[in-house]
Structure formats: structure tokens, C-alpha cells
Amino acid sequence: LVGTRVLVVLDEFDRAESPEFRRDVAELIKTLSDVSARLQLIIAGVASDLSDLMEHIPSIRRSVAAVRVPAMADVEFTALIENGARRSGVKFDPKAVDLVVSAARGSPYLTNLLCHVGGMIALDDGRTQIELEDIARALEDVIEDFRRRLPQQLVQHLDQAAIGVDKAGAT
């Protein structure tokens, strides 16, 4: 590459399950640094710190800078929902917005997902106003979808833990 710079974005790197892929990315970073390449990587993912994301690869630390992105505030999520509503032509009842913000717990992904599913429920019913009940149904659908994606053994373990919490609270 001559006369330009290239930026490569690897999003959701934390979800990469292959150790070989992570090792290959680490080697790429090392090689790019060694040859002073005009190519930069942005690696995005959820991790408590850089070592979680890069799996303790000390040889590339000098070539990597971590940028912590703070959690979004509730008002930012509300603005995100309002922006999406404006662009899509739907409206959200304020109670529906409150439930989305509360349920998403700082996750833009969950905010988007709940609004999308809730919006589809309303549109399927012939409405452009998303109500609290639509978001409640969306929440149930999303939880059920997540449960189907988890290994059955983990679902059973979580169900047993929830029963244990219910019993502890009842005594």
C-alpha cells in the first residue's frame, strides 16, 4: 500500500472462539509492527482489560493501546431509541422506553434488539406505536431465544440456580 493508510476493524473479537484465530491476529499485529506497516487494526470487544481480550500475549503489548469505552448513560439510550423511532416512523410509549432502558442494563445491543422485536410485534398488530406490552413480549421472546442458544446443561443449571434463589427468598 502506497500513499495511504488502511484501517481494519475486528468487531466482537471477544466472541472469537478459535485460539488459532486469536494467535493469528496476534502474529499479524506483531508482523505489522515489525515492518512499520501503514495498516492499523481496531479490535473491539468486551473485556475487563486488554489481557482478557488478547489472552496474555506479552510480545504485542508495545504495539497495542487499550481504549476503555464507558457504559452509556440512560439518557443516551433514550436518545438512541428516539433517534431510531424518528428514522423508522414509529413511536414509543414512555413506559416502553423505560422498560427497554431498564432491561438492557447499559447494552446498546440489547436496546436495539428489544426495540426491534417490540417494533415488529407492534407492526404485526398494525400499529406504529410501541407499547409497554410490546416490549414485555419482546423481552420474553429475546430471553427464550437466548435460552435456545445456550447449551441445555447450562440452561438446566441456571434454572436450578433461579429455583434456589426463589426458595431462599421465600424462607
pLDDT at 36 over 90: no
Which tens digit of pLDDT belongs to each residue from 87-132? 999 999 999 999 999 998 888 888 999 999 999 999 999 999 999 9
Q: Is the pLDDT of residue 52 over 60?
A: no
Q: Are 13 and 53 in contact (CB under 8 A)?
A: yes
Helices (H), ranges, 73-125:
74-88, 94-104, 108-124
Confidence of residue 139 (pLDDT cuts 50, 70, 90): very high
**Which residues make Cβ contacts (< 8 Å) with residue 111, sequence separation at least 6?**
77, 80, 81, 100, 101, 104
d(CA 102, CA 74): 8
Spatial neighbors of 13 by CB under 8 A, at least 6 apart, are: 25, 43, 44, 45, 53
Q: Report phi then psi at 36, rounded to 5.
A: 50, 45
